Chains A and B, each alone.
Chain A
């Protein structure tokens, strides 16, 4: 009963005219962002955050807008995967494997509709899962003290880093870069400056929005300058759009399986949507009787990864809202939004600001139906937008990034810092250092240090206190396993080569 009361309260918040408008607008923008190659959910959400502030939105409104963009980008990623054989964002990579061959056979419309429905099934069920699971996890989170939180942050770095790079040392270094940057500014405990080198601008620390927009959006400009022209694949034309009812019915069990896998992958801190779609595709292929047809345009190979990545997107919100630990790159960006809005995610959020949590959940439920309409009957509109040339798109992204950051602080120093982060992001991508752990480090650095210091105050400097509870020992074991296991699993989990190149 409590659930229905909460949900009713949520819908009362979400169904105001302005919130509905923001949800629809966010879904629209998100689908565009997702479908454009080179603009994925994390950089799309990142460049829009400063704008959300200048609009003067309150916490719930900003969250409704941004999570609609997030869900929209997850839906939209498949469009260019299917039509251009270029994933619109990283989680949509698996959709290229069967989506593009299906389109080449002249079934582009069918593939788009089928994957749209698959996205809807995955995202809707994951939102229901979030609704049921988050309050339970929030109750468990009450048992967490500083030593458990320290172990939890460690777990997030280990699993995220372990999976994000092929080289564990590079993943660990990325985390250290982020944590090191987080130390810049005034020490929370003593109030004395650290690593500021007398520079006044650094006293407040490095603004994580500057870092995020630099690493995710500005670096994209450099990548495009390097690859200019090369990325323009031959597209497939889209004729009539009909609803392939037979395929949808036949793929329905696959969608449900993929949703389950994706949701669990999303909840694991750090794993995120890419892993969700990858595991969903591989699982579907391994249970299928017609294994050989995967990679040649099997409809189930289109439905499974799309359900998987959208379910993971919903699942990744669970640890972000209940524990303050993001489950993916994009939820890390959403965490930055929450922190800037002065909302501390965690169990107290469910007690003190239920209107934020339940309004958000209700808005996500509404957003799914809006997205189904946008992505099935209206999909042609987004296909047209896909033809924006990079020579217009990238300068546009840069201008929005600069104007957004400038409007927040009005300081040219932050803009220069953003360019430096852009360059850092480009270099990191060249030498395979993942950028998401850097963001996570900047976001969680001070919290991680605070939890360590508070734990040591409680135990009067006894380091064994960090391993004193069952929960924290479990988290430490999971963290070490999450960091070490990918070394051995990597040969088994080789991503299949992209066809058609």
Chain B
């Protein structure tokens, strides 16, 4: 009940912001009968209606993960974000080994197995990508130039 109401309120804000943005779309001077704004208005309007339905008639709550699981999910997001930001400067191998090792630990917490998974996946996939698929990933980025 509560989940859907919160979700519905969130969507109402997003939809109102979307409609406001749509109202500010620049219009070309040679416009067609429909124009650039009508379709976004329709989208925002229908989304607003749907959100009102959630607030008025919410579904039963799903089972939300408990705090330890939530922490693990947030950690996974953080790891993925760091991976996306370090891929360019540090190359594939080191960030991939760390990211997949940590993720593996988050899924099944065994230290040695996760470390081996990380290193194995990183080197194995790098070789597969670079030799078999011809993906041009840099192994070490700007750490080693030459």
Residues of chain A at the chain B interface (Cβ within 8 Å) = 51, 54-56, 166-167, 169-170, 172-173, 176-177, 179-180, 183, 187, 189-195, 197, 218, 221-222, 224-226, 228-229, 389-392, 394-396, 398-400, 402-403, 406-407, 410, 412, 415-416, 419, 422-423, 426, 430-432, 448-449, 452-453, 456-457, 460-461
Q: Is the CB of A419 within 8 A of B36?
A: no
Q: Mind listing 12 A-B residue pairs with CB under 8 Å?
A: A54-B135, A173-B47, A176-B43, A179-B39, A195-B18, A222-B76, A228-B107, A391-B113, A392-B121, A399-B125, A422-B80, A430-B64
CB pair B62–A183 under 8 Å, yes or no, is no
Q: With A51-B133, A395-B118 given, can you name 12 additional A-B contacts, CB distance below 8 Å? A: A167-B59, A170-B50, A172-B50, A173-B51, A177-B47, A179-B39, A180-B40, A389-B108, A402-B83, A412-B84, A416-B84, A452-B39
B128 to chain A, nearest CB (A): 9
Q: Is B65 an interface residue (CB 8 A)?
A: yes
Contact status A398-B80, CB under 8 Å: yes
Tell me whether B94 is interfacial, beta carbon within 8 Å. Answer: no
Q: Quote the shortest CB–CB distance from B79 to chain A (angstroms).
A: 9
- How many angstroms from the CA of A377 to the CA of B31 in the assembled complex? 63
Residue from the list A177, A395, A406 in contact with B103, Cβ < 8 A: A395
The complex places the Cα of A444 from the Cα of B65 at a distance, in Å, of 34
Check B129–A180 contact: CB distance below 8 A: no
User: Residue A192 contacts which of B25, B40, B117, B122 (CB distance < 8 angstroms)?
Assistant: B25
CA distance A448 to B46 in the complex (A): 16
Q: Are A453 and B76 in contact (CB under 8 A)?
A: no
Chain B residues whose C-beta falls within 8 Å of the C-beta of A407 in the assembled complex: 129, 135-137
Say if the beta carbon of B53 comes within 8 Å of chain A.
Answer: yes
Asked if A225 and B69 make an inter-chain contact with CB atoms under 8 angstroms apart, the answer reads yes
Contacting residues of chain B (115-139) with chain A, CB-CB under 8 angstroms: 117-118, 121-122, 125, 129, 133-137
Question: Which residues of B come within 8 Å of A, CB atoms?
Answer: 3-4, 7, 11, 18, 21-22, 25-28, 30-34, 36, 39-40, 43-44, 46-47, 49-51, 53-54, 59, 62, 64-65, 69, 72-73, 76-77, 80-81, 83-85, 87-88, 92, 96, 99-101, 103-108, 110, 113-114, 117-118, 121-122, 125, 129, 133-137
Contact A431 B43 (CB under 8 A): no
Contact A390 B117 (CB under 8 A): no
The answer to whether A402 and B32 touch (CB under 8 A), given A183-B40, A396-B125, is no
- Known contacts A396-B100, A460-B33; is-contact A416 B107 (Cβ 8 Å): no
Q: How far is the CB of B8 from chain A (nearest CB, A)?
A: 9
Query: With A412-B85, A415-B87 in contact, is A190–B107 under 8 Å at CB?
Result: no
Least CB distance from A190 to B in Å reads 3
CB distance from B40 to the nearest CB of A (A): 5
In whole Å, how far is A239's beta carbon from the nearest beta carbon of chain B?
A: 29
A226 in contact with B87 (CB, 8 Å): no
Contact of B31 with A190 in the complex, beta carbons under 8 Å:
yes
Question: A453 to B103, Cβ gap below 8 A?
Answer: no
CA distance A309 to B105 in the complex (A): 36
Residues from chain A with a CB closer than 8 A to the CB of B43 are: 176, 179-180, 183
Q: Which of A179, A189, A225, A403 contacts B135 (CB 8 A)?
A: A403
* C-alpha gap A271/B137 in the complex (Å): 39
In whole angstroms, how far apart are the Cα atoms of A406 and B40 in the complex?
A: 30
B104 and A395 form a contact (CB under 8 A): yes
Nearest A residue to B63, CB-CB:
A430
User: A226, A389, A395, A449 — which one has the most chain B CB atoms within 10 A of its CB?
Assistant: A395
Q: Is the CB of B121 within 8 A of A402?
A: no
Give bound CA distance, A319 to B50, whole Å: 28
Closest Cβ of chain B to A405, distance in Å, is 10
Are A190 and B28 neighbours in the complex by a CB distance under 8 Å?
A: yes
Picked from A194, A197, A419, the residue with its CB within 8 Å of the CB of B40 is: A194
Cβ-defined contact, A190 with B73, below 8 A: no
Point out the residues of chain B lying under 8 angstroms from A183, CB to CB. Answer: 39-40, 43
CB A249 to nearest CB in B, in angstroms, measures: 43
Q: Which residue of B lies closest to A194 (CB)?
A: B25
The listed residue (B7, B21, B31, B46) touching A431 by CB distance below 8 A is B7
B59 pairs with A431, CB closer than 8 A: yes
Name the CB-closest residue of B to A180. Answer: B43
Which residue of chain A has the shortest Cβ distance to B105 in the bound complex?
A391
Q: A176-B47, A192-B28, A461-B33 are in contact. Are A416 and B108 (CB under 8 A)?
A: no
What residues on B are CB-neighbors of A452 within 8 Å? 34, 39
A180 CA / B76 CA spacing, docked (Å): 28
Q: Which of B18, B114, B129, B134 contacts A391 (CB 8 A)?
A: B114
Ranked nearest first, the 3 interchain pairs of A and B with the lowest CB-CB distance are A190-B28, A461-B33, A415-B84
- Specify which of A194, A222, A391, A430 is in contact with B108 (CB 8 Å cutoff): A391
Contacts of A395 in B (CB 8 A): 99-101, 103-104, 107, 117-118, 121
Q: How far is the CB of B42 from chain A (nearest CB, A)?
A: 9
Whole-angstrom distance from the CB of A36 to the nearest CB of chain B? Answer: 14
